[in-house]
Structure 1
């Protein structure tokens, strides 16, 4: 197991470098000049702009800038924001906690509600509740997240007054409830459908007929034999969905006025603060890679036939 983990960690290095290099090049290709944007509409001496670029290292070749950035990242330095002159690591630490809180609320809702709905529908395939689940999940997949967000805000906040329409600087759990459900809606639909399909397929497996023939309790048959084998594709999706929730929170944060990563990326793109965007994406890439490793290790827990040499 230890050798497998070490090998996977080594495999993460080229993936990490490739993904961060790609976003770095994409930000470099965007039109505009972050140094020139500081002055707004005012006239600025080109010599001053050139001097500031030289000070920030923006006059060097792009690959040299990237190599310097990666070297600093491994030392915990994500660079400095041009507009505020604050360390980007400090800016990220200010914005990420609320996004992580939102993502964890959404992830918990996805795991509990998605797997439960999929189990209920999968145990009775082609029944009324099964068709109802498929119709509901298809609706959630088809409707864009911003439509779901604005609809939920209009109905539950402005019409019924059940929850606050926006989230404060220090959000409480009731303020985060509706944004988390909106953020989770798309992933919940996929998890429910994956669970339902996997449950329905494994119900016809030989090991299930053997468990029933041995006279095992129904709770043990479903909870141990059926669920453990059916959750492997679901766990795979959930592992990659953690990073998606953090990145996909941009739209949800905009709708509910959440001061998290979404607002940070939006402002950074507006000022062409490429280093800030790259720093945020770097953290998301790290989350993706670690979640992928954890998912691979969970396979052996769910399925005893899987062993890592």
Structure 2
């Protein structure tokens, strides 16, 4: 196990460098000059712009800028935002906890509700409950998140007055309820369908028939033998979905006025703040890589036949 983890950690290094280099090159390939944009339409001395670029290291070759970024990254320096001259680490420290709370709320709801509904549908395959759940999940997959967000606002905030239309306090999980459910809707649909398909398929497996023939209680057959083997594809999806929830909340955070990572990245792209975007994406890449490693290790927990040399 230890050798496998060490090998996976070594494999993460080229993936990390390649992904951060790609987003670095993409951001700096965008048209426009973020330093000059600080003055808008006002006339500005070119020498002043050149001096600011020199202070920020933006006059160096692109490979040198990336090397400086990596060097600073290992010291906890994510760079400096051009417009405000604030360290990107401070911006991440302010925005990331907001999105983490929102994403974890959505993730827990996805795991609990999605797996539960999937098990119920899988155990009653081809019955009316199964068909009803498949219709609802297909509807959630088909409806764009921004449409679902505005519909939820209209119904639950303006018509029923159950929830606030926008988030007033990001530390209040009550305010985060509606955006978390909207954010989790697509993931919930996929987890439900994956779990349902896996449960229905494994119900016909020989080891389940053997367990039933041995007279094991139904709860043990479902909870130990059936569920553990059926969760492998679901865990694979959930591992990548956690990173998706953290990075893909741009639309949801915009609709519900949440000052999180998605909102910050959207504003940074509009202002061509490459250092901010690269810093946040770097953190998300680390989350993806760690989640992928945890998922691989969970395979051995769910299926005892899997062993890591």
TM-score where L is the length of structure 2: 0.99
1:222 maps to 2:219: no
Q: Name the residue aligned to 2:273.
A: 273
- Which aligned runs of 4 or more in structure 1 are off by greater than 2 angstroms? none
Give the Cα separation in 2 of the matches to 1:306 and 1:270.
47
8 A contact 1:169–1:259 mirrored in 2: no
Matched, 1:176 2:163: no
1:246 shift after superposition: 0.6
Unaligned runs of 5+ in 1: none
Whether the 8 Å CA contact 2:170–2:258 is kept in 1: the answer is no
Does the CA-based 8 Å contact 2:169-2:175 persist in structure 1? no
- Take 2:111 and 2:266, find their aligned partners in 1: how far apart are those partners? 29
Cα displacement string for residues 116-162 of structure 1 (whole angstroms, at most 9, x for unaligned residues)? 11000000111111111111111101110000001001100011000
CA contact (8 A) 1:110 1:188 kept: yes
- List gaps (5 residues or longer) in structure 2: none
* Structure 1 residue 62: Cα displacement: 1.1
Query: CA deviation digits over 1:37-74, x for unaligned, max 9?
Result: 11111101111111111111111111111111011111
- Measured in 1, the distance between the counterparts of 2:265 and 2:239 equals 23
RMSD: 0.8
C-alpha separation in 2, matches of 1:111 and 1:170: 22
Match of 1:27 in 2: 27
Q: Distance in 2 between matches of 1:264 and 1:57?
A: 23
Using the alignment, how far apart are the partners of 1:266 and 1:84 within structure 2?
16
Q: What is the distance in 1 between the residues matched to 2:202 and 2:51? A: 66
TM-score normalized by the length of structure 1: 0.99
Q: How many residues align?
A: 309
